[in-house]
């Protein structure tokens, strides 16, 4: 059975952002908010063709950064009944600045909530919750790092009143609507009030940073790595920069650095800031030279016929191998047991 061809997209630190199947579509979002969808073709593990041009995955990552372009997989359109959930998931997972517009559902239950200032709702004991709202629009925020969050909200209010997008089907942005923002600091939701905006921390439960870190660590533990042997020591090899903050304490990471020939490692170091070509993970620390490296020859790494294994499975295997065989443990003499003396009160009886 032929292996499925997967195109990997990385950032400039070699971290995997997402993958696409061969022939999948990539959406690129430009600084002015416009976007373009391009078909991608698998060339090999390190090259892909985007819109008819072949890129090395590192080259493509640099091209995106220099142009201020964000990219994400273009998922197939869902059924109409799933459209809101699909849009909300894409908004929450967007790797770039994004916004979402929520408006009250057109039901009798929300009649008394429409166009009401937040102060009036709170005085009446009414909460603003996601269950009463429809997600009516999502989009990309302009690449304007000079704009504050308040300025972004005001610019969206102006746009959705004076010049809304052609495919926007809701009413003009008004009091009682909610605007969601996704930025580098996370996700926030803001009530359109009579004067300005009021943040709604409890509008939609969003995983906090600690939960996100735990989720990423769990995902990394199950991600497949290449099982290799480094000078007789078992190790895992990744061709991207592994986030060390997500690794268990008993796992040790070292970077590979290439020399004149691209991709051929010549040294192993604590961290390779230039000419990076992979990360090795070990279950025990290595002894490096005084300058913090190990010089490699071409036979230093044995790829073991391309075997793959997850980090969690690797840890289990290494823990089992460190335990002595059962027969040996049974034959080991047990420590002598000291006689338990009766308590003083028992002696006096």
Q: What is the pLDDT of residues 112-153, one digit of tens each?
A: 888 999 998 888 777 788 888 999 999 988 777 677 889 999
Higher pLDDT: 145 or 65? It is: 65
Q: Do the beta carbons of residue 138 and residue 27 sit within 8 Å?
A: no
Phi-psi region of 125 (alpha: psi -120 to 50; beta: other; left: phi over 0): left
Confidence band, pLDDT 50/70/90 cuts, at residue 279: very high
- Mean pLDDT over residues 239-258, rounded? 88
Least confident stretch, 56-65, 96-105, 149-158, 303-312 = 303-312
Distance in angstroms (rounded) separating the CA atoms of residues 245 and 212: 13
Distance in angstroms (rounded) separating the CA atoms of residues 39 and 334: 68
Distance in angstroms (rounded) separating the CA atoms of residues 157 and 179: 9
User: Has residue 323 got a pLDDT over 60?
Assistant: no
User: Has residue 290 got a pLDDT over 80?
Assistant: yes
- Mean pLDDT over residues 42-58, rounded? 87
Confidence band, pLDDT 50/70/90 cuts, at residue 81: very low
Confidence band, pLDDT 50/70/90 cuts, at residue 78: very low
Q: Do the beta carbons of residue 281 and residue 256 sit within 8 Å?
A: no
Confidence band, pLDDT 50/70/90 cuts, at residue 28: confident
Query: What is the predicted pLDDT for the residue at 239?
Result: 82
Q: Do the beta carbons of residue 54 and residue 43 sit within 8 Å?
A: yes
Query: What is the predicted pLDDT for the residue at 75?
Result: 58
Q: Do the beta carbons of residue 61 and residue 11 sit within 8 Å?
A: yes
pLDDT tens-digit profile of 150-172? 999 999 999 999 999 988 989 99
Higher pLDDT: 218 or 322? It is: 218
Alpha-carbon radius of gyration of the chain: 28
Pick the closest to residue 275 from 293, 263, 285 (CA basis): 263
Token duo for residue 56: 């090395």
Query: What is the predicted pLDDT for the residue at 198?
Result: 93
Least confident stretch, 72-81, 175-184, 231-240, 306-315 = 72-81
User: Has residue 342 got a pLDDT over 70?
Assistant: no
Cut 0.75: pTM above it = no
What's the chain's average pLDDT? 81
Query: What is the predicted pLDDT for the residue at 161?
Result: 93
Confidence band, pLDDT 50/70/90 cuts, at residue 16: confident
Strand ranges across the sheet with 186-192: 133-140, 98-104, 178-183, 186-192, 197-199
Pick the closest to residue 130 from 102, 158, 101 (CA basis): 102
Q: Do the beta carbons of residue 63 and residue 55 sit within 8 Å?
A: yes
Query: What is the predicted pLDDT for the residue at 333?
Result: 59
Query: What is the predicted pLDDT for the residue at 189?
Result: 93
Strand ranges across the sheet with 47-50: 53-56, 47-50, 35-44, 25-29, 70-73
Query: What is the predicted pLDDT for the residue at 135?
Result: 93
Confidence band, pLDDT 50/70/90 cuts, at residue 1: very low
Distance in angstroms (rounded) separating the CA atoms of residues 200 and 99: 15
Pick the closest to residue 128 from 173, 187, 192 (CA basis): 192
Q: How many helices (H) and strands (E) are present in the chain, helices listed first?
A: 8, 20
Residue 331, helix vs strand vs coil: helix
Q: Please state, as a whole number, how many other Cβ atoms lie within 10 Å of the Cβ of residue 189.
A: 22
């Amino acid at each position: 059975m032929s292996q499925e061809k997967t195109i990997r997209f990385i950032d400039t630190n070699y971290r995997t952002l997402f993958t696409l199947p061969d022939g999948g579509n990539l959406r690129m979002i430009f600084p002015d908010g416009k976007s373009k969808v391009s078909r991608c073709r698998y060339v090999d593990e390190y090259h892909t063709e985007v819109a008819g041009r072949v890129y090395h995955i590192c080259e493509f990552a640099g091209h995106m950064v220099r142009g201020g372009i964000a990219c994400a997989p273009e998922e197939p359109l869902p059924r109409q009944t799933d459209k809101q959930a699909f849009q909300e998931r894409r908004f929450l997972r967007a790797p770039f600045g994004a916004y979402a517009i929520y408006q009250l559902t057109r039901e009798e239950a929300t009649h008394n909530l429409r166009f009401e200032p937040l102060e009036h709702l709170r005085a009446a004991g009414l909460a603003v919750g996601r269950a009463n709202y429809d997600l009516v629009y999502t989009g990309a925020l302009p690449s304007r790092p000079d704009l504050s969050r308040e300025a972004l909200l005001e610019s969206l209010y102006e746009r959705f009143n004076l010049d809304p997008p052609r495919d926007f089907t809701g009413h003009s942005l008004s009091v009682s609507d909610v605007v969601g923002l996704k930025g580098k600091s996370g996700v926030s939701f803001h009530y359109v009030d009579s004067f300005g905006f009021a943040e709604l921390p409890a509008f939609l439960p969003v995983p906090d940073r600690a939960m996100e870190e735990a989720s990423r660590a769990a995902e990394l533990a199950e991600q497949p790595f290449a099982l290799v042997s480094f000078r007789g020591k078992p190790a895992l090899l990744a061709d991207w920069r592994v986030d060390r903050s997500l690794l268990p304490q008993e796992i040790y990471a070292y970077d590979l650095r290439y020399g004149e020939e691209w991709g051929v490692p010549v040294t192993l170091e604590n961290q390779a800031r230039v000419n990076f070509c992979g990360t090795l993970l070990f279950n025990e620390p290595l002894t490096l030279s005084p300058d913090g490296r190990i010089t490699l020859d071409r036979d230093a790494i044995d790829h073991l016929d391309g075997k793959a294994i997850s980090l969690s499975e690797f840890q289990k295997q290494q823990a089992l191998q460190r335990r002595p065989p059962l027969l040996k443990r049974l034959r080991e003499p047990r420590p002598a047991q000291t006689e338990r003396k009766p308590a003083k009160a028992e002696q006096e009886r």
